[in-house]
Amino acid sequence: MSVEILQQQKMKVSNMAEHLIGSEIIKLANEVNELIKKGEPIANLTIGDFDPAIFPIPALLRDEIIKAYTEGHTNYPVANGMLDLRKEVSSFINRFQNLNYSPEEVLIAGGARPVIYGIYSTIVDPCDKVVYPVPSWNNNHYCHLMQANGIAVEVFPENNFMPTADDLRPHIKGACLLALCSPQNPTGTVMSKEQLSEICKLVIEENKSRGDNEKPLYVMYDQIYSALTFGSNKHYDPVTLFPELRPYTIFVDGLSKSIAATGIRVGWAFGPAAIIDKMKSILSHIGAWSPKAEQVASARFMANHQEFDKYIEFFKKEVYERLESFYKGFQSMKSLGVNCIEPMAAIYLTIQFEIKGKSTQQGKVLATTDDITDFILNEAKMAVVPFSAFGAAKESTWYRLSVGTCKKENIPVMMEALHKALSSLK
């Protein structure tokens, strides 16, 4: 049989792999980058990453990474993370959340993604029910990887795209995992104390109803953006509000978003020691460690509270100024069909283009969200991500805008181009 015929035959793979889809956000960002390479003057506001020329990592962390490599920290780290770093993470949790988790209840990994994978792998069996709100980041894909029964609960702008206990209550019975994220990716909003408290009560009530031989309902609480809250907005967590949830709550956190260190790959989980230990075993089999030199350097950087806090303060200011500038610009275009939620946290802004049914100068009717996305990209030269890429309904007209690659002085130019494009619609 010829090679050509073999190549034409459909290769048999696992059902999971056959039906797994890649990241819609990365796919869109790559398409935009290809247009930019061809000379298109597009503002790429799609991916939740940073331009190091605009947001360099802290100088002290950079220097400590270089130092750690010159010291020869190039072999395997210990499976659950270097002890010095786990101690600093434990101190960090106590400083910022007033929670006491020992280094043995902390697991270091190569960013938040392996941590989330480890939580799903530890808790979820095939066909188990996992409940999560949408829009949210990648829970649908992790459910697919686990062959779980993912229950996506769509949430809406009235509650800042955050779930309420009433939203979740019809779906909690029999679930083994509730996946929550605050501050939220993609919305840049936070869960209020009241919202989270009612959800916590729901989880406690559900676990009390289960027998001794039943798997409890666990909460995965992704707080990777918790250091980036603005104004009067505060970060709350389940265990602080309800200490009795400690045996059932696994936190996701790390350095990547709070100090523009996405490529440094230092993330962590903390929670019940028995769960953390199982996660360690799983991640050790797939080698999802954070590089040893980065761990050594991160521990040294985090130990310098003055430098750490100084950078966070600077970084929050820079991010917020960008988000606020975009927000004011979008607010001025309400008459053109633009809605926007005030920036609350993270590096994202939630915007809506209510322009379905309008026509371009060329006579094309914007009948779908894809039409709107293409119009904003091609006419306003602005690339943003529709909430449908985060599990929301395909017809949703809400979008995520990320400011990690944005220069402040370019925002007025972007707003002018968008205003011109929207004003051209009929």
Cα–Cα dist 218/203, whole Å: 8
Is 198 within 8 Å of 165 (Cβ atoms)? yes
Is 70 exceeded by the pLDDT of residue 1? no
Confidence of residue 13 (pLDDT cuts 50, 70, 90): confident
List b or e across 144-173, with b for residues whose CB sees 16 or more CB atoms inside 10 angstroms.
bebebbbbbbebeeebbbbbbbebbeebbe
Q: What is the pLDDT of residue 34?
A: 81
Q: Rounded to 5 degrees, what are φ and ψ at 340? A: -155, 140
Mean pLDDT, to the nearest integer, of 278-283? Answer: 96
Find the mean pLDDT for residues 75-90: 97
pLDDT digits (tens, 9 = 90+) for 180-227: 999 999 999 999 999 999 999 999 999 999 988 999 999 999 999 999
Same fold, 3-55+310-423 and 76-304: no
Q: What is the pLDDT of residue 216?
A: 97
pLDDT at residue 9 tops 70: no
**Binning pLDDT at 50, 70 and 90, where does residue 295 land?**
very high
pLDDT of residue 151: 97
pLDDT at 354 (0 to 100): 96
CATH classification number, 76-304, choose in 3.40.50.9100, 3.40.50.300, 3.40.640.10, 3.40.1000.10? 3.40.640.10
Q: How confident is the model at residue 424 (pLDDT cuts 50, 70, 90)?
A: very high
The string of pLDDT tens digits covering residues 40-72 is 888 999 989 999 999 999 999 999 999 999 999
The CA distances from residue 416 to 32, 152, 369, 411, in Å, are: 20, 37, 22, 9
Domain boundaries, the chain: 3-55+310-423, 76-304
Beta strands in 22-118 (DSSP E): 43-44, 106-109
As a whole number of angstroms, the distance between CA 405 and CA 392 comes to: 25
Which CATH fold would you assign to the domain 3-55+310-423?
Aspartate Aminotransferase, domain 1 (3.90.1150)
Q: Residue 282 belongs to what H/E stretch?
A: helix 273-286
Residue range 266-286: mean pLDDT, rounded = 97
Q: Phi, psi at residue 139, to the nearest 5°?
A: -60, -35
Structural contact between residues 179 and 139, judged by C-beta atoms closer than 8 angstroms: yes
Between 316 and 7, the higher pLDDT residue: 316
How confident is the model at residue 3, as a pLDDT? 54
Please, what is the end-to-end C-alpha distance for the chain in angstroms?
58
Task: Write down the pLDDT at residue 2.
Answer: 54
Average the pLDDT over 376-384 and give the result: 94
Asked if pLDDT for residue 7 goes beyond 70, the answer is: no
pLDDT at residue 23, rounded to an integer: 74
CA distance 18 to 305: 47
| Banded model confidence at residue 10, pLDDT cuts 50, 70, 90 | low
Average pLDDT, the chain: 94
Specify the pLDDT at position 33: 78
The stretch 335-356 carries a mean pLDDT of: 97
3-state secondary structure of 418: helix
Whether the pLDDT of residue 105 is over 90: the answer is yes
Q: What pLDDT, in 10s, does the model give residues 16-47?
A: 888 888 777 777 777 777 877 888 888 999 98
Mean pLDDT score, 115-138:
97
- pLDDT score of 168: 98
Residue 225 φ/ψ region, left for φ over 0, alpha for ψ in the -120 to 50 degree band, beta for the rest: alpha
Give the neighbor-by-neighbor strand order of the sheet with 338-340. Answer: 338-340, 348-353, 398-402, 385-386
Check residue 39 and give its pLDDT. Answer: 82
Residue 288 CA from chain centroid, whole number: 18
Return the percentage of the chain with pLDDT > 70, whole number: 98
